[in-house]
Amino acid sequence: MKFTRRHDLDPQTRIDIVKDVWINQGIYGKMTQIAQEYHISRTFLYQLSWAARYHLEDLFSDPQHLVEPPHFQLEPWILGVST
pLDDT at 23: 93
* Mean pLDDT per 10-residue section of the chain, whose length is 83 residues: 71 90 91 93 90 86 63 63 57
Please give the model's pTM, rounded to 2 decimal places: 0.64
**Closest CA relative to residue 50, chosen from 80, 22, 70:** 22
Length of the chain: 83
pLDDT at 70: 59
Please tell me whether residue 62 adopts helix, strand or coil conformation. Answer: coil
Helix segments in 1-83, DSSP class H: 11-23, 30-38, 42-60, 75-79
pLDDT at 32: 94
pLDDT at 33: 94
CA angle 72, 64, 49 (to 5 degrees): 155
| Alpha carbon 80 to chain centroid, angstroms | 47
Q: How many Å apart are CA 22 and CA 30, to the nearest integer? A: 11
Q: Please state the domain extents for the chain.
A: 8-60
